[in-house]
Amino acid sequence: MIDFSGLEKSLQVSFKDKSLLMQAFIHRSYINENPGLNLSHNERLEFLGDAVLELVVTDHLYKTYPTEAEGELTAYRAAIVNAILLSDVAQELGMNEYLLLSKGEKKDAEGKARQYILANTFESFVGALYLDSGYDVVQKFISTALFGRLTEIVSKKLWRDAKSLIQEKAQEHVHLTPAYKVMSETGPDHDKHFTVGIYFGDDLITQGKGKSKQEAEQKAASHALEMKKWVD
């Protein structure tokens, strides 16, 4: 079995119930391949962790931004608990090294599929930590792992939909509607990578890369906003 002591040390947490910690990293495919294992997969923990994460983030937003309206707070929350950001954080925390997947899932789960597995695992870990150590400990973990990102999201207004904003700004400043074009598409079906260009008329402004066309378009729009200094 995997030794999670290195992860506990790096995350500065200590589980009393090590089996609960392990369960947070068990994908359904691993159970299907190892039916004799006396543990369950992590989907129930993910369900719990999703709710705990939302509560902790909502509580933080409510207290940190006392003058913001409900709509802005909802947008902030959506920006911090989305799968792309959570998977990036999980990767940075080293959670990818501890995933328990079937051999087939290990081979096939790349790109966007791995993103969602990592995001779900982050939520499962939150659920497991809540059950094992209580609200205060899980609140401290989420604060350390996520709230630095939240500061950047709010200060740079990254919570706004970049494609909608660039369309608004382009029409205001240059009287054009941006267009997007796929510049390249690489990788096998399970691990596609897209490069998308954003154009004002015939002029290529910049490019964005992502694991889906939509993600690449958002990145291109975000880069264009920064280049044009239209991020207010």
Query: DSSP label at 202?
Result: T
Catalytic residue among 3, 17, 33, 50: 50
3-state secondary structure of 186: strand
50 is catalytic: yes
For the stretch 86-107, what's the b/e string if a residue is b when 16 or more beta carbons lie within 10 angstroms of its beta carbon?
Answer: bbebbbebebeebbbbbeebee
3-state secondary structure of 33: helix
Among 20, 3, 1, 27, residue whose Cα is nearest residue 138: 20
68 is catalytic: no
Catalytic residue among 46, 105, 123, 132: 123
Among 201, 203, 197, residue whose Cα is nearest residue 185: 197
Show which residues are catalytic.
Answer: 50, 123
